[in-house]
Every structure is written in structure tokens, then in C-alpha cells.
Amino acid sequence: MLVERIEAKWIDAFEQVFALCGVEEGDECAVLAESQSRAINVELSELALQRLGARVFRVTLPTPKQTAPVAIRSTGASDAIGGLGPVISALSQSTLIADCTVEGLLHAPELPQLLGDGARALMVSNEHPEILERLTPDPDLEAKVKAGTKMLRAASTMRVTSAAGTDLTIDVEEAPAGSSWGYTARPGTIAHWPGGLCLCFPAEGSVNGTLVLNTGDVNLTFKRYVDAPITCTIEDDFIVDIAGSGVDADLMRSYFAAWGDREAYAVSHVGWGMNNAARWDSLTMYDKTQTNGTELRAFGGNFLYSTGANEVAGRHTLGHFDLPMAGCTVELDGTAVVEAGVLQGDLA
């Protein structure tokens, strides 16, 4: 049983990460929360920033009314700000925003305004502090993630295959690439903790082939390991068929259909995990209320396929799946960056 109480070791971990974000004495830093935020992470953020000598203020908003037809988890698109001008103004004038909202600001519509004047943001994922402590960023990961992102930006084609039957071809030539190693010290940027990802947002009509979720792969919307293979046929970005027996395939079909929105079936982003400190098996150790599953998105060598909103392709929906897969081979223009689930070369 894990208890959510203030621990000195957790203040230490938060202080270390904010220091990596370049917070210095006298910096004006905001802690952004909502009524359903994990309270201990809000408190730890404030205490750690104060330890560093920052001038801290907190903005807490009511968690908005549920409007979707189904439960929403882990979209990275918090709607807590709701376009409120005074909130945007206050946050955008800070040096750093410690983002403790439930879903996070990564895809929030206000993000360009929040970062436009040079503020930077650290999205503290909605995890139990033990997970964040265990995955305090390693500065050595930054160079490796940057190297992987550089390779992705230079590539034209990503091909993903697996022994289970995955065979995807993805045109990445016009796909903006991004990455996170768990912190950011550059004005006008956002990072998330835990970190360790290289990914891109494919342009419209860029993804075709077969995606096979094998036994042991992860559906992070449901926070569960897949217990039987699920085969998804993808045509011009859209999942057009979901084949498989068992409760996992049934749940996936049901959740997709509940949105009544074709765009929920389309690709959001694709990429691979870079963090060898993150563990595939960690989901077994936590109750669903204790984890947001960000660790599973980042574990080293996973292929991450996500459905839902993709601004690059002009698609907007709250329907969202994050599907980390083990054992895949990921090639960029014929060069493997991941071989059968193992990071290659300088990325290892």
C-alpha cells in the first residue's frame, strides 16, 4: 500500500527536476492545478520551487464538467483553463509553469499563448510520487533523445514490423518531430516527466498497413496489458478493421464506437521509447488510481502508436489511445533504430 503524504525524498526529486529546468533564485514560477489534481504533486511542486528560491504562485481551477460520452484518460489536452484570459496572462508571464493538471497541457489549445512570451512548462504527469522519484531524469538521456529526434527529422519513411505480424509504412517526411527527456530549460518549450520519447505527428494520409497488438502489449487508455492479439488494419491513417477475440478487442471496439467520430480512429502520433530506466512491467505494481502510465510510453525500445487528435493532419477529437508495443523493429529509411524491441547504436 502506497500512502500519499509529503516525503523529504520526494521534495528532493522535484527540486532536482526543477533545477534541471534551470529554475534559479528569484524566478517567478507558477504551479497550475485543478480541483481534481493529485494534491501531493501540487504541494511537492510548490515546496521544491521554494527550496530553489523561486517566487511561487498557484493557480487552481475547477475541473470542467464531463462532456464526452465515455471516460477520458491521458489525452495530454487539459481543458481546465477554458480560454480564461487572466489565467493565460498570469501563466505566460512566469518563468516556469509546473503543470499539475490531470490531463496535462501538451495538446491544450492555450499552449501556444502560454509559451509565446518565453515561459516554459514542465508537465508533471499524474503519477504517484514514487513513480516520479524512480524516474527522476538522467541528464545523459538528453543527448540520446536528441540524436534519435535528429534521425527522425531527417527521415522520409518509417517502417515498423514485428514477429507478431505488424507491418506499417509511415511517411514521415512532412511529420513534425518532437521529443522529451524529462525536463526543459529552454524558453518557449514544454516537457513531460517522466520522459524519454522520440515521436512525430504524421501528415494526412501517411500511415498504412497492419498493426498487431500482441499479448503483453499495453492499452494505456484502459491501463491494462493485452491478453490476446488484436489486429488493426490501417488505411490512409484510419483503423478500418479491428480483428481479435477476447475482452481486450471487444473493449477497444466499444470505446472507438462510443465516440461516434471517425477521427477517433485516426493516427495521432508514432514513435519509440528511449528511457531504459522505465519498465514495461511496472503497470502490475500500481493501482489504476496511482498511475497515468507515462512510464509505459517511455520504456526503452517500445513502439508507441497513438490514435486521436493530430493538429498536423487537421484532426481534433478527445478520443485517444496510447498503445506501447514491445518486440517491434522500427526502421528509418532502412536503418533500424529499434531491433526487436532493443534500441540500437548510439540510441542504446
**110 and 157 inside one domain:** no
Let me know: does 308 contact 321? Beta carbons within 8 Å: yes
**336 and 313 inside one domain:** yes
**15 and 59 inside one domain:** yes
pLDDT of residue 331: 98
In a domain, 147, yes or no: yes
- Furthest-apart CA atoms within the chain: distance in Å: 58
**284 and 337 inside one domain:** yes
**170 and 318 inside one domain:** yes
Measured CA to CA, the distance from residue 103 to residue 74 in angstroms comes to: 5
Backbone angles phi, psi at 161, to 5 degrees: -135, 160
In a domain, 189, yes or no: no
In a domain, 2, yes or no: no
Q: What percent of the chain has pLDDT over 90?
A: 92
pLDDT tens digits along 66-123: 888 888 887 778 999 999 999 999 999 999 999 999 999 988 899 999 999 999 999 9
Measured CA to CA, the distance from residue 133 to residue 41 in angstroms comes to: 11
In a domain, 18, yes or no: yes
Domain range enclosing 30 = 8-134
pTM of the model: 0.95
**281 and 228 inside one domain:** yes
Measured CA to CA, the distance from residue 297 to residue 303 in angstroms comes to: 9
**275 and 242 inside one domain:** yes
In a domain, 217, yes or no: yes
pLDDT of residue 1: 64
pLDDT tens digits along 133-188: 999 999 999 999 999 999 999 999 999 999 999 999 999 999 999 999 999 999 99
Categorise residue 119: left if φ over 0, alpha if ψ from -120 to 50, beta otherwise. Answer: beta
pLDDT band at residue 284 under the 50/70/90 scheme: very high
pLDDT of residue 75: 79
**241 and 292 inside one domain:** yes
In a domain, 270, yes or no: yes
Averaged pLDDT for residues 260-266: 95
**159 and 84 inside one domain:** no
Tally the residues of the chain. 348
In a domain, 186, yes or no: no
**72 and 154 inside one domain:** no
Number of domains within the chain: 2
**115 and 213 inside one domain:** no
pLDDT tens digits along 310-338: 989 999 888 899 999 999 999 999 999 99
In a domain, 212, yes or no: yes
In angstroms, how far is the first alpha carbon of the chain from the final one? 34
Looking up residue 66, the CATH number of its domain turns out to be 3.40.50.980
**221 and 334 inside one domain:** yes
